[in-house]
Amino acid sequence: MSGSIDLRFNVQPGGALTGRLRVPGDKSISHRSIMLGSLAQGVTEVSGFLEGEDSLATLSAFRAMGVQIEGPDAGKVKIQGVGLHGLQAPADNLYLGNSGTSMRLMSGLLSGQSFNTTLTGDVSLSGRPMNRVVEPLMSMGAAIEATTGGTAPLQVQGGRQLSGIDYVMPVASAQVKSSLLLAGLYASGTTCVSEPAPTRDHTERMLSGMGYSLQRQADRVCLQGGGTLRGIAIDIPADISSAAFFLVGASIAPGSELVLEHVGMNPTRTGIINILQRMGADITLLNERDVGSEPVADLLVRSAQLRGIDIPPELVPLAIDEFPVVFVAAACAQGRTVLTGAAELRVKESDRIQVMADGLQALGVDAQPTAEGMVIEGGKIGGGCVDSHGDHRIAMAFSMAALRANADIEITDCANVNTSFPGFVDQAHRMGLAIRTG
């Protein structure tokens, strides 16, 4: 939860979304550009970097470990790589704010260093589970101490000799996979990770782009320790997770026609598009192209009557961050939408199943939470007050719900929207959402 003075969103009902918009850069790729650029030999030049609080926390942490980083300036960052063994001990704990990606990935990367580090975060991050990365890292020889509840702060002991492992993840998680691969850079032998379902593969793509050899099969990736990374140019596409709010908003608001520019279309991230199209959304991909190692496209979305669906289990890990706004789409759809197999939503920045159910119910929607998902009967959305619990994606999702509401929606505890989407209110207002802060 945010420690800032309560920031509220006040959104008036109705309206349509029209025009052209490029949402901020992809958060996942922004994190990885700083981490791998710092470990590379030579200079990495980044454009499209997300200047949000989460990715800036990663940038600050690597500066604290002696990496020279220029920017960000209008999304441009220049990183003077220090090589795999060039990081220096920070003078203090590394504070990572609200960023679970930073903490989980860096726990693997730091396990291979010669110095000790302590990773801390805000109240929300300090309540999120870390044993999912700590335990497999310790099986590689890492020494990491968490709290008795398996949460931050994490104390990572340096000077350990890591050994590669062959790890089968019990739950699909790109953060766990990436953490182990980053530790594997420092391990003797081969590190392999197998996943039960596809997850985002930005780490693998960037490693390959920087010249590091990987062996990839359908559900398995392996690498040998002891290689080198070379600095490259990285053009970060717009974040599909941020675009998702406007995809849903334009779908549910009559009269909407919106183009979202330069959106990352990594196939491990496009679950939101597949789900919305199954619900009847009118989304067209334009100008498909590759930018570096990542596919991108412009997305044309027009308003459409959505219908409720049973969300296919195989799409769940491909849209795990987008479900708050998917729930809003379901509330506007004709019929019932059922989500199962998404227990991971309960250990995000908030319990996104319960918090979204509470908020939808406060707006008069029939939304019934289950252990691993939700059942939503589409219908009318009323006005009211919703508590986002300091969760950026909850706040932005309920902002879009106002497009179909019959009265004002007030959303509390919205300061953390800046972790992933600085400028959200201004951009949403410019596209046609009647939103203001209070």
- Residue ranges covered by each domain of the chain: 9-25+237-437, 27-235
**Residue 136 binned pLDDT confidence (cut-offs 50, 70, 90):** very high
Structure tokens given for 243: 């675009």
Rounded-to-integer distance, Cα 176 and Cα 55, Å:
18
pLDDT of 3 higher than 60: no
Rounded-to-integer distance, Cα 252 and Cα 165, Å:
47
| Closest to 33 (Cα-Cα) out of 53, 52, 58, 65 | 58
Rounded-to-integer distance, Cα 70 and Cα 87, Å:
17
Rounded-to-integer distance, Cα 114 and Cα 349, Å:
31
**Residue 5 binned pLDDT confidence (cut-offs 50, 70, 90):** low
Structure tokens given for 16: 């349509």
85-121: per-residue pLDDT in tens? 999 999 999 999 999 999 999 999 999 999 999 999 9
Q: Residues 154-164: what's their mean pLDDT?
A: 97
Give 114: exposed, middle or buried? Use CB within 10 Å, 0-12, 13-18, 19+: exposed
Q: Residues 57-72: what's their mean pLDDT?
A: 98
Structure tokens given for 434: 């009647």
pLDDT confidence of residue 241: 96
203-218: per-residue pLDDT in tens? 999 999 999 999 999 8
Any alpha helices (H) in 43-187, and if so which ranges?
53-64, 100-110, 131-139, 174-184
pLDDT confidence of residue 1: 37
pLDDT of 235 higher than 70: yes
- Give the architecture (CATH level 2) of 9-25+237-437: Alpha-beta prism (3.65)
| Contact residues for 176 (Cβ-Cβ < 8 A; gap 6+) | 104, 132, 133, 136, 169, 193
pLDDT of 364 higher than 60: yes
Q: Residues 406-427: what's their mean pLDDT?
A: 95
- pTM for the whole structure: 0.92
Q: What percent of the chain has pLDDT over 90?
A: 95
Same fold, 9-25+237-437 and 27-235: yes
The SS3 assignment for 47 reads: strand
Contact by Cβ (8 Å): 297, 267: no
Structure tokens given for 232: 């490259």
Rounded-to-integer distance, Cα 70 and Cα 129, Å:
33
**Residues that are catalytic:** 321
Q: How many Cβ atoms from other residues are within 10 Å of residue 161's Cβ?
A: 11
Contact by Cβ (8 Å): 322, 348: no
- AA letter at 304: A
On average, the pLDDT of the chain sits at: 96
pLDDT confidence of residue 45: 98
Contact by Cβ (8 Å): 381, 331: yes
pLDDT of 2 higher than 90: no
Q: Positive or negative CA dihedral for 362, 391, 195, 25?
A: positive
Q: How many residues does the chain have?
A: 438
CATH superfamily of this structure's domain 27-235:
Enolpyruvate transferase domain (3.65.10.10)
Side-by-side strand order, sheet with 220-224: 166-168, 190-194, 220-224, 215-217
pLDDT of 292 higher than 90: no
The Cα diameter of the chain in Å comes to 61
**Residue 70 binned pLDDT confidence (cut-offs 50, 70, 90):** very high
